Chains A and B, each alone.
Chain A
Amino acid sequence: MSESDAESIRKQTRSYITVFVTLMVMTVLTVLVSYAHMPVGLAILVALVIASFKGSLVASVFMHLSHERKVIYWVLLLTVIFFIALMAIPSISQWDQRMLR
């Protein structure tokens, strides 16, 4: 391995530590916010926004998605589309229930 490669790995390890600290802070924040008696809808929104932010940090930095090959992005694009469809099922079913009434 060349010297410049080694330097870039060292730079990456520093970013891992930064992400670690951020994730810890976000975890504490999630717990604190949950004690703040917010309306249910808002509480769910806040919790999911924080979780998505944490998740995207893990995916982009630890899983190296911030600099990955195109083929991986295509796989993930398909996954996202199907995942959205899965998440839409509960609302489709509610709509269905309403039609039946």
Chain B
Amino acid sequence: MEIPYTVEARPDTGVFNAKLGVWLFLASEVMLFGALFSSYVLLRTGAPPGTWHHGREFLNVPLATLNTIILIASSVTMVMSWASLKLNDFKKYRIYMGLTLLAGVGFLVVKGFEYGHKFEVGLLPKTNTFLAIYFTLTGLHGLHVIGGMIVNGYLLGPGAKLFKTQPERFTNRVEVAGLYWHFVDLVWIFLFPTLYLL
């Protein structure tokens, strides 16, 4: 069966189907992270005075700053990979997508160091309420990074064949994968100050 509206816009929505689909998915993602974020606020404001542990006591701000820079840079390379396809420059697309994937690996390696160190010194989700919500939020975010890397890896590897036969459809796939990747970046932009700095 032919999938409809992969390239041309659907007349009633004005966008190709995958774009609306991914935006609806992102709307549900906002609610998922929003619910956890709201829980964080509730746990923090509801804690008896003087009992709340702050992120600064346990977390490594320089490493998290580095990770913020890595993730923002990967958002730029992601959007540049899409722009390269729009300009019909497949070679540049591969370079930018490769860099995006590499940045994802970099983010996870840094995060792995952070987690590893905490486990070593016995800082676990059960240690206190802050660490419980910290591991929940950053863990869920980390899973999202892994998910994005799987999609990006597919689009860089086996999925890239589509560019030869249906370049516009492939470009649209990269665009919606980018929407998701930027969302993951956006979540981190809020997690970084609220968990590490405040």
Contacts and interface: CB of A to CB of B under 8 A. Distances in A.
Nearest to B196: A34
Contacts of A94: 45-46
B30 interface: yes
Interface in A4-29: 5-6, 9-10, 12-13, 16-17, 19-20, 23-24, 27-28
Interface secondary structure of B, over-half rule: helix
A79 B185 CA distance: 18
Contact of B75 (A43, A62, A89): A62
A85 to B, nearest CB: 9
Contact of A16 (B30, B38, B68, B80): B80
Interface residues of B, number: 47
Contacts of B19: 72
B136 interface: no
Interface residues of A, number: 48
A27 B75 contact: no
A30 B193 contact: yes
A1 B88 CA distance: 9
B189 A90 contact: no
B98 interface: no
A88 to B, nearest CB: 9
A13 B182 contact: no
B42 interface: yes
B45 to A, nearest CB: 6
B76 interface: yes
A65 to B, nearest CB: 10
Interface of B: 9, 13-15, 19-20, 23-24, 27, 30-31, 34-35, 37-38, 41-42, 45-46, 61, 65, 68-69, 72-73, 75-76, 78-80, 83, 86-88, 178-179, 182-183, 185-186, 189-190, 192-194, 197-198
B126 to A, nearest CB: 23
Contacts of B15: 69, 71-72
Given A24-B69, A27-B68, A87-B38, A59 B186 contact: yes
Contacts of B80: 13, 16
A20 B73 contact: yes
Interface secondary structure of A, over-half rule: helix
B106 to A, nearest CB: 16
Given A20-B76, A58-B186, A82-B31, A27 B14 contact: no
A12 to B, nearest CB: 6
Interface string A42-82: 01100110110011001100110000011110011011001
A12 B85 CA distance: 13
Given A20-B76, A31-B197, A58-B186, A71 B30 contact: no
Contacts of A40: 198
